[in-house]
Chains A and B, each alone.
Chain A
Amino acid sequence: MNLTKNLKLAVVALAASCLTLAASAQDNTLLGAGSTFVDPLFSKMFSQYTASKVNYQSIGSGAGIAQLTAKTVDFGDSDVPLNDDQTAKMGAAVLHIPMTSGAVVVTYNIPGVSASLNLTGKDIADIYLGKVTKWNSPEITATNKGVSLPDLPIVVIHRSDGSGTSFIFTDFLTKVNPDWSSKIGKGAAVNWPAGLGGKGSAGVAGLVKQTPGAIGYVELAYAIQNKMPYASIQNKSGKFIVPTIQATTLASNVTIPADTKVSITNTDNAAGYPIASFTWALIYKEQNYGGRSKARATELLKLLWWNIHQGQADCEALNYAPLSKSAVKTAEAVLKSATFDGKAIL
């Protein structure tokens, strides 16, 4: 009896705390949810932005999109543009605003090799398809003259969880290897033909570090922070590009379509690093929904405007690539197209 009483009390307390949480969401704190990749940058940006408070939950791109669909947040953030299915579920036009760009690097663990490797996209795809299985195969030695590669089996490591990182990586492989494109394709989770799956960047990094002969892929920032070796990747112009923040920004300095929903992997820019992508903030084009006030909509747009201008100064220190000039210009136009009751806000 006493136990049930205690349980009841606990339930009431829990409900009460939920209510206060909901109430605090009603004041003028802006709510966002989505990509975990962009979370460290957003935390820094929002701590410096003084005009309004922002509460960003890093629950993953897909979950962020679901929250925006349910209209429980003011903005979502995704590393992958909305697909047709998601767009249909939204039920209203959604704007994509690039926030920053990030690179995915190919990391490896080859005992006795300290030199940075040169890899082509086609060979990476063949490795991940299970066609190239040894580190000293002619495909790999051809682009790494002067490096003595051991006769060691390649252990392929991929993400086991659905992730924007996998999407960017497979998007690149789809563009550079017809075999990959026809058999596997691109997605946050794909039917990996070979290798082991690690959960999250930490899982992939852990497996790569522990397994001699392993190859894996993680975000540039993660590889830098964890001092992991990474390969230079051949871009469309045939040059091997070391993944850096500058080379990632250059990858997005190309002509960007008006809706900014563009894949910048295998970039046309000759100095750009080829495995890169934007992460996009997502908002409804028509901001008058669900009883929102015009003041709140204006606050949201001002925040995003600040993000793509002053906020970009925070990028480099955290190993994110600032938006290129062409990207900022297109993003400005997108923000200006947002409306409240059909009238422009900014």
Chain B
Amino acid sequence: MSILLLVIIVGVLATLITESMPSIKSLGIGYLWGKVWDPIQNIYGAYPFLIGTLLTSFIALIISVPFSYAIAIYLGEYNPKGWLSDTLKNAVELIAAVPSIIYGFWGIFVLVPLVRTLEMKIGVLPLGVGVFSASLVLAVMIIPYGASLGITLIRMVPSPLKEGAYALGATRFEVIRNVIMPYTRTGLFAGVLLSLGRALGETMAVTMLIGNSSAIASTFKEVLFGPGNTMASVIANEFAEADHTLYLSALIELGLALFLVTVVINLIGKRIITRFTNN
């Protein structure tokens, strides 16, 4: 079974590389920092989408981590048993099961008008859709990934450790800070990594909310609230109607780049996990 998985991954990589050869040959490495994506002139640059993907994913991560840790600590330590705990845990897991297009609709009809009101108050062009809206929805979508893993891990902390700390007169907060958190640090980080992986590849909800514009913003406000575009949403949007070889190939190369970004981020994560574990 595991060999099959390896074969699939290598196969995906090989297909992506062969299919994107025409584009790699004609555009070279400049593809990665080219700022123009113009299918008519056959100029392709992935930079705006690379930035868009990283930006939405990391903003989403920053928003979601406090929530997923808080949920994990509450359901893992403060309230690990009983109907309330079970209901909440199921609700959190249900968030992961909702199809992303539903999040897209919810974003368009509920979140976008709210963000627009906010934008009018702080004096940016009130578009409603944009990087900020997309990141907010992404944050909600990825909370369960960090939270469920965190709940399980915190419940697995051996009682003797906790009891020892209580016996020494530690408060609950001190137990969480000095016993539970150090013990589960690696696992919680792995949960963050899982959610990041999910955020990087999310397509439908982001496409519906990000504004799909490849213009590169210059000011901080524009970067945060202005429209953007991600690699996954460009592929989803343009793949079906890509009508010439180089165009199709450039889109597949975008897929390859997304694949590599995910791999690199995962490897960095693994490094960090090993380092923490060794200490």
A interface residues with partner B (beta carbon < 8 Å): 4, 59-63, 65, 80, 83, 85-86, 153, 155, 160-164, 184-199, 203, 206-207, 210-211
Contacts and interface: CB of A to CB of B under 8 A. Distances in A.
Task: From B212, B238, B239, name the one whose CB has the most chain A CB atoms within 10 angstroms.
Answer: B212
Contacts of A194: 215
A51 to B, nearest CB: 31
A80 B127 CA distance: 32
Contacts of A60: 240-241
Contact of A196 (B1, B37, B211, B239): B211
Contacts of B208: 199, 203
Given A161-B237, A199-B208, A191 B39 contact: yes
A196 B129 contact: yes
A210 B113 contact: yes
Q: Which are the 7 A-B pairs with shortest beta-carbon distances?
A: A162-B241, A197-B212, A160-B212, A191-B38, A62-B241, A85-B244, A185-B40
Contact of A161 (B215, B229, B240, B244): B240
Interface residues of B, number: 36
Contacts of A196: 127, 129, 211-213, 227
B277 interface: no
B40 A187 contact: yes
Contact of A211 (B41, B128, B236, B237): B128
Contacts of A153: 125
B129 A162 contact: no
Interface string B208-237: 100111110000000000010100010011
B125 A162 contact: no
B46 to A, nearest CB: 14
Given A187-B40, A210-B128, A161 B213 contact: no
B41 to A, nearest CB: 7
B108 interface: yes
A61 B241 CA distance: 7
B240 A162 contact: yes
Given A83-B243, A160-B207, A210-B112, A189 B237 contact: yes
Given A191-B214, A197-B211, A155 B127 contact: yes
A211 B212 contact: no
Nearest to B237: A161
Contacts of B245: 85
Given A162-B239, A163-B241, A190-B39, 7 more contacts: A85-B245, A86-B243, A153-B125, A155-B127, A161-B240, A187-B243, A199-B212
A164 B127 CA distance: 26
Contact of B40 (A65, A184, A210): A184
Interface in B78-96: none
B38 A188 contact: no
A199 B215 CA distance: 17
Nearest to B37: A191
A3 B46 CA distance: 42
Interface string B16-46: 0000000000000000000011111101000
